[in-house]
Chains A and B, each alone.
Chain A
Amino acid sequence: MDSVDIGFILNGREHKRAVRPNQILVELLRGDLGLLGTKVGCDQAVCGACTVLVDGDPVAACATFAFEIDGREVRTIEGMADEQLHPVQQAFVDNAAFQCGFCTSGMILLATSLLERDDDPDQATIREWLSANICRCTGYMMIVEAVAEAAKTMRKRAPGS
């Protein structure tokens, strides 16, 4: 089998592609689709720099086959902002929650997946959730604070709150 036909929604838009059976999701995103905001760090599903959301779940795009996203919805960092930054992105800006920026796309998506499940996580929950990814620069506190701030913003914006 040379290729597999798959269909998926990427950042809100429908896509149909033929992918190699052994093609990795991050190759599809970075190579074929030119979405370079997803970074490859360790390339073994440890560091989380390549985190994208598949049906809202954080996954390591370096350790996911492209065919696994067939029929599913994928969100990358490029799909986060519309006219303005997503509240998580804005909170990362306002809290200087990044330095070199290499983990930032993955951290923002990881944090978003938390806040879409739990709109008022406590410190311990945020720390535990963020432990899926590595940031070697910041020492984490400013990221934790950014996520708490983003939660507050998102609660204010949520309908009915």
Chain B
Amino acid sequence: MNSKTRNPQTKADQVCEKSSEDKIVTRRNFIKGTALAGAGAAAILKNESSNAQETKSPDIKIPEEIPRTLSEAAKPANFPMTGAEVFAKFMKDEGVAGFFCCPGNYNMINAIAAEGIPSYGGRCEGNMTSAADGFSRVTGEIAATSGTEGPGFTNMIMNIGAANSSRTPLLVIASNKTIGEDDTEHGIQTAYQQAQTEGLKKWGKRLITPNRIYEYAAYAFRQLKTGVPKPVHLDFPGEISRARFEEPGELQYYYDKTRYRTESKAHPNPADITLAVDMIQRADRPMIVASTGVFYDKAWDALLRVAEKNDIAVTESAPMRGHFSDSHALSASTGLDAVRSADLVILIGQYCMPSIGEFAFGPDAKWIRIDPDATDIGRNVPIDLGIVSSEKAALEALEDALPSRDRPDWRNELAAARKAFDDQSQEYYSLGLKYSADTDSIHPAVIGKHLHDFLYEGDIAPDQTTVVSGGYGIGRYTRRYLRAHRPGQICNGAYQYGAIGPDVGYTVGVGAAVQNGVGPQAPYKGAPIVGITGDAGAAYSIMEFETLGKYRIPAIMIVYNNNAWGVWTSGASRGAVRAQHMYLFQENLRYEKIAEALGCNGEYVTSPDQMTPALERAYKIASDEGISTLINCQGKKEFWTNQYPPSMPRHFAPGALAYYK
């Protein structure tokens, strides 16, 4: 697999290399020079011996063990079983649909793979945690992640935090030395785990009694499958995972899942539904905010029926999008002016609750909140009516109780708002073309528009491609051009935790979900997916291109490369001195070559005319060979300043532009 034969150099590529040759400096000279000259020196680095080494290097290849062991038949465990096998079997019975890990916790991860749960091994536990998070966000199913004790587990913390803010039903399992060695610091990697996930989980437990492993598995899945989900964290000392059980009687509370938890869900009080119907009927411009709970309760069909029956507008706010199609006449996800105009807001399954001002609704709007958790209703935003219910049950009750009604004025206002949004997007694109030409680079609005046209206006069915909508500054533009037409079509990368870095991890998990056709991804099984991130974010997880390559997960990852952290202006304004260097990277870094070096494909885009051809080549190689591509889009950090309005557009929530919440 020689990437050079697949990916001939672009003209810009050649120009760049020629320029490099003209100005080669050695690393030693560079360091010496900067030491003498101080900050502000610019230099182009090149490893002078790299070409000679490349000609002798063997091809990157997938070892035969990988496809061979992936195709082995599952071998479900039966008594006698180890603790690890008991837990893995439990996970299989509960329908865990994806497992993402790095080695460590060996007994557990081997048992999970043997049960036949689709399992993936990556390059960093944190990224694998995000892979599991992304998998859940586009399938609605529980995914699990594992890391080894100590360092492997602590690598997962940021990504657990992101999953917690997204209210993801994520099962975190980690090995943890032995109970017998507690507090001795014997050996290596010992650490108390549960305290480290405090505030980042729904529930957690360090297992210390071997014959209670089945009982605690039930605790875990009760938490994961009822109410408002969040990560559940179990840590497994060696005495637990390696315990042996000869027969079921040795395990406490060994009941079938129909007996250790219930599928029953809260239904709304009829009196509350009557009040809600009255408020909806009195409203002229009612709007539903369809959020996380609508997706996890698989309530999108009921949502559609309610919206259409009474002409209620719907906008989305969630770590995933598509449970109400952007193309529907009642959609307000791209109708921002209509959000400001709504006189009744109905929050359904808004698990990560905004505080006042985070949503752009007007100060006079009335609020209804429907949520399974009574303890959260009324937090942050004062309500006019609270309804404790599962999302689906409440929507079905509303469907029954609401009269049919046409609201032509409201529909017209929604259409006008969407048109205004599209007109503004076109205006930004025109500006982006001008800025790109002025700077010999590619502006983020151009990336977004070309991606939009490629995914939704060309030969690809608009509902086909699942997208990880990540990045920081770039996301402020690409969200404007992305569309969601069906459940789970967009995984909103950052969401409320605002983490910079998990996007390639999300892409692994989302790609695995589509590769296996899980849940709403079933009709699109095997289709290439798209991910978007920035150069700052890519650095945290770019090694997972090796994971994409190893499993032939077909992904196209757009990396917006503006040579800086997205917040770089903070080091350049308001009297900052000696600070700017902390915010900047070397310029024109070639992230696509990292992807090539990891067995994937690379494209370097430096002008608008190169964008669509790069997407076409990337899509073809993903479709034909399952090979992922990193498209390195060279921008300018100055696009985030007032020199290039609208610079970094402010986020707007709820809807397509929501960066948080």
> Are both chains from one complex?
no
Which B residues contact A (CB, under 8 angstroms)? Answer: none
